[in-house]
Structure 1
Amino acid sequence: MAMTKTVRIGTRGSALARWQTDHVAALLREAWPALQVDIQVIRTRGDRVLDTPLPLVGGKGLFTAELEHALRSGAIDFAVHSLKDLPTEDAPGLTVGAIPARAPVQDVLISREGMDLDHLPPGATIGTSSRRRAAQLLHHRPDLHILDIRGNVDTRIRKTLDPNGPYDATILAQAGLERLELLEGLPAHVLPFQVMLPAPGQGALA
């Protein structure tokens, strides 16, 4: 009788991270029906520090250091993460082992009043913690005010739609919104590439 193999997958605990890991686990079970999957949620420093802009507290590595430690210690066999949020250089001793089929790559504007980017009022406040998004927004609309926003997808949407909040709109990846089935019903507008180029690897998992 063949032995049952168990793989241990590390993931962050957000709804999007769990969806992505469950998706990879389902792909593995489809290929190897006897495979057992043990999903381990690992809380990273980026999940704990939510009151400081990302560039001031370490950037992308904030969300991977604990996952990398778990890999090196043998606590997990591999981790699932958004490719765009990985550091550009592989961590020593680790590598990207696989990339599943890519989801849509574009960014989406979600605005409190349902307006698209060109019709937001002068001086509107856009919530983003991404320098890439901020730079492209200001290139297209120099009058906009950029304000840092932190939290997972649900939190950012809630902050943006709060009528008493400071944000008129925010920018999120289309892939994450579709994976969580949040795009339908939101006051959302997909941004064309002429306005917003996505991050390298956006829409892909690693």
Structure 2
Amino acid sequence: MKKNKLIIATRRSMLALWQAEWIKGQLEALDPSLDIELNKIKTTGDKILDVPLSQVGGKGLFVKEIEEAMLRGEADLAVHSMKDVPTDLPEGLHLSTITKREDPRDAFIAGKGIKSFSELPQGANVGTSSLRRICQLLNKRPDLKITQLRGNVDTRIRKLDEGEFDAIILATAGVKRLGREEKITEKIPVDVSLPAIGQGAVGIECRTDDEFTNSLLKSLDHYETSVCVRAERAFLKKLEGGCQVPIAAYAQLKDGKVVIEGLVGSIDGKTLLKDNLQGSPEDAERLGTELAENLLSKGAKEILDEVYGQ
């Protein structure tokens, strides 16, 4: 049944609103007769700003309230950063669309006089709250001082500019989307910092029984990104990880094959388990699961149990 109005649920951060408006514009182009509005929701992750998210625990810190709004019928679809979306979705909801991925790399943003990651002085103070980034940074540079950094993109950049840090690490995609790309000192190669699952991709979640919205969203799905992100998410699901754990994966389509690399690391950076697999796009999710099983056989569960305090 055709709808005349759609409500998009979104977080209130500048980046989330940019992404929601971006999807809104694409939907309006598909059907100019649609009246589309945003339902801006404050999530648990947005409310807790004084504690590292890895200490808060649980999954879906940035999506739970949004999903509840959809299940109550207060929104027709939700726009998410894919790296925030848990691998298990509530009954009645599904991930209908994954849009074309922006640059998946981490962005190294340095204070004055530092021109690259390799130029960071001994004992430099680097701001990030991501356990995934921390374990990879300390593996390369155990001398670094890592300081927790929360807040939106502008807040984090302002703290750097005010001299609180020698450098900070953010997602390149978010910095670009907010028009701050000129602040990026270096885009860190994926062999130095493997990205988060789904990093750089925007996903759209909606009710499984909403035929009109699902049909409308089909044309926004990007095949290559969808295949790769679903492989990464299968890897994460097998490891039973959330978005606040030292787990990374990045899949690409090369010569018609999915090539996926995965990582599990100890927070101190002393142990990094890495492996990769390749296979057909039809087997993308199986590849992700198999890659996780390979790392579990090498000791990934013991590392993650220690992180979870088990």
* Same-fold status (TM-score > 0.5): yes
Q: 1:146 corresponds to which residue?
A: 146
Q: 2:124 corresponds to which residue?
A: 124
Q: 1:170 corresponds to which residue?
A: 168
Q: Which has the higher contact order (CA 8 A, sep 6+)?
A: 1
1:64–1:86 CA contact under 8 A, matched in 2:
yes
Q: Output the CA distance in 2 between the equivalents of 1:127 and 1:142.
A: 15
Query: Which segment drifts farther, 89-98 or 14-23?
Result: 89-98
Query: Which SS does the other structure have where 2:109 is aligned?
Result: strand
| CA distance 1:82–1:60, shift in 2 (3 Å) | farther
Aligned length: 201
| CA distance 1:187–1:81, shift in 2 (3 Å) | closer
Moved over 6 A (4+): none
Q: Output the CA distance in 1 between the equivalents of 2:176 and 2:137.
A: 22
Match status 1:12 vs 2:6: no
Once the two structures are superposed, what CA deviation does each residue of 1:84-114 show, in whole Å capped at 9, x if it has no partner? 1111322333211111111111111011124
The counterpart of 1:180, out of the listed 178, 181, 189, is 178
The counterpart of 1:201, out of the listed 198, 201, 212, is 198
- How do 1:1-206 residues align onto structure 2 when only pairs under 5 Å count? 5-58=4-57, 60-113=59-112, 114-163=114-163, 165=164, 167-184=165-182, 186=183, 188-206=185-203
TM-score when normalising by structure 2: 0.62
Question: Higher Cα Rg: structure 1 or 2?
Answer: 2
Gap regions ≥5 residues in structure 1: none
Gap regions ≥5 residues in structure 2: 204-310
The residue type paired with residue 37 of structure 1 is I
Higher helix proportion: 2
Q: Output the CA distance in 2 between the equivalents of 1:91 and 1:84.
A: 17
Higher strand proportion: 2
Query: Which segment drifts farther, 82-91 or 101-110?
Result: 82-91
